[in-house]
Amino acid sequence: MRNSLLLFIVLIMAFSCNQSPDGYTINGEIRGDFEEATQVFLKTIGDNGQPVEVDTTLLAGGKFQFKGAVTTPELYYIFVDELPGYTAVILEEGTINFSAQKDSLGFAEVDGTMQNEVFFDYIEKSKVLSERARSIQEDMQKTGGSAGGEAAIVALNDEMEELQEEYETFEVDFIKNNPKALISALLLDRAISMKSVETDQVRSMYDALSQEIKDTKAGKKVLEGLDRVKKTEEAGKSTAIGAKAPEFSGPNPEGEIIALSDVMGKVTLVDFWAAWCRPCRAENPNIVAVYEKYHDKGLHVIGVSLDRTAEAWKKAIADDGLAWPQISNIAYFDDEIAKLYNVSAIPAAFLLDENGVIVAKNLRGPQLEAKVAELLD
């Protein structure tokens, strides 16, 4: 598992939560002087990625309490009015103890329930590695301008790589040893987003999670991520050079449904573009020239637009003089044809032979004409 130690340090600061399938109680204490009626907030992360307030209470003599229920263990956050930082807690059935200093909210102690104790066990063990990483970074900064610094930097880089490998082993082992812990699902979710773990390994670790953890938001997100990666891998294989191009269809500017099979020639160019895409528009004159030169010999083209509006799409077709069939679902990158062809950036083009086999991808300018000439001449 290849993970950036800097990112995992951020993870340590960001994770702290409490969970409860039936009923939870958070008994909190914050040491320090506070004004009367200081508010304490319990928040979660909303669909827009921003904190959303779930509950509010007041500090009384430095103490506060939250009570409630959740169906599965979930990650929440405690904020205090006018204090910097926050603490993550896992809401789960039971009594959760929260203790912090006023000026160190991010270093609160949270215990009392299994999920929180496993979570903070991970945090404490991770801190040891993060401190070693910080020490190496500090040594790199000190060594940078010194005599013989280059050799020292090489040695420190090697030390950092060894530490990363040690961290990877630690994290994989932690997930495997804690299949009932929410932190394991959170770490797997991060691994997918960072593309830091082989998909098969993530799948294996996910399969080993308890059903309760699979049913959490984090667990469901891991499964969604695995499905997304699988679809991307399948799309990549289906549109690799040598593969048969996937069939598709869509509406043309008049609303008539046009399929790839309807427009196949001896050589067919599937061109993904959009009116808003400047590189696409810059390439259009070249495609026009190649089309006009080789259409009578068997070159066919079908354009697949990822436009946001039909008006912009139709205007660009007219302005650029695109005489070949055009289709669009006016769906931007949510277009199902783009997903089928694993297109995440445009311009993108696939050149097919007479059997519909992909023989080249993303050829532009002289390279496109040269390949078309080779296939037709």
* pLDDT tens readout for residues 294-337: 999 999 999 999 999 999 999 999 999 999 999 999 999 999 99
Closest CA to 244 of 352, 109, 126: 352
Residue 258 to residue 326: CA distance in whole angstroms: 8
Band (15; pLDDT cuts 50, 70, 90): very low
Band (145; pLDDT cuts 50, 70, 90): low
Mention the CATH class of domain 249-376. Answer: alpha beta
pTM above 0.85, yes or no: no
Over residues 279-290, mean pLDDT: 96
> How many C-beta atoms surround the C-beta of residue 105 within 10 A?
19
Task: Classify strands 109-111 and 299-305 as parallel, antiparallel or unpaired.
Answer: unpaired
Residue 156 to residue 145: CA distance in whole angstroms: 14
User: Which region among 89-98, 130-139, 340-349 has the lowest average model confidence (pLDDT)?
Assistant: 130-139
pLDDT higher than threshold 50 for residue 17 = no
Q: Which pLDDT score is estimated for 4? A: 45
Percent of the chain with pLDDT over 70: 93
DSSP collapsed to 3 states, the chain: CCCCHHHHHHHHHHCCEEECCCCEEEEEEEECCCCCCCEEEEEEECCCCCEEEEEEEECECCEEEEEECCCCCEEEEEEECCCCCCEEEEECCEEEEEEEECCCHHHCEEECCHHHHHHHHHHHHHHHHHHHHHHHHHHHHHHCCCCCHHHHHHHHHHHHHHHHHHHHHHHHHHHHHCCCCHHHHHHHHHHHHHCCCCHHHHHHHHHCCCHHHHCCHHHHHHHHHHHHHHHHHHHHHHCCCCCECCCCEEECCCCCEEEHHHCCCCEEEEEEECCCCHHHHHHHHHHHHHHHHHHHHCEEEEEEECCCCHHHHHHHHHHHCCCCCEEECCCHHHCHHHHHCCCCCCCEEEEECCCCEEEEECCCHHHHHHHHHHHHC
Q: Which pLDDT score is estimated for 37? A: 84
Q: Which pLDDT score is estimated for 21? A: 42
Band (16; pLDDT cuts 50, 70, 90): very low
pLDDT higher than threshold 70 for residue 128 = yes
User: Which region among 90-94, 145-149, 336-340 has the lowest average model confidence (pLDDT)?
Assistant: 145-149
pLDDT higher than threshold 70 for residue 269 = yes
pLDDT higher than threshold 80 for residue 5 = no
- What are the boundaries of each domain within the chain? 1-238, 249-376
Of residues 241 and 235, more confidently modeled: 241
Q: Which pLDDT score is estimated for 147? A: 57
Q: Which pLDDT score is estimated for 22? A: 58
Over residues 50-71, mean pLDDT: 94
Over residues 9-36, mean pLDDT: 67
- Mean pLDDT highest for which of 6-15, 163-172, 291-300? 291-300
Q: Which pLDDT score is estimated for 12? A: 44
Residue 78 CA from chain centroid, whole number: 25
pLDDT higher than threshold 90 for residue 198 = no
Q: Which pLDDT score is estimated for 275? A: 96
**Sign for the pseudo-dihedral over CA of 345, 351, 352, 358:** negative
Q: What are 223's two structure tokens?
A: 């499964």
Percent of the chain with pLDDT over 90: 69
Band (14; pLDDT cuts 50, 70, 90): very low
Band (139; pLDDT cuts 50, 70, 90): confident
Q: What is the pLDDT of residues 75-116, one digit of tens each?
A: 999 999 989 999 999 999 999 999 999 988 988 999 999 999
Q: Which pLDDT score is estimated for 20? A: 37
Residue 218 to residue 333: CA distance in whole angstroms: 26
Q: Which pLDDT score is estimated for 87? A: 94
Residue 138 to residue 101: CA distance in whole angstroms: 28
Of residues 187 and 168, more confidently modeled: 187
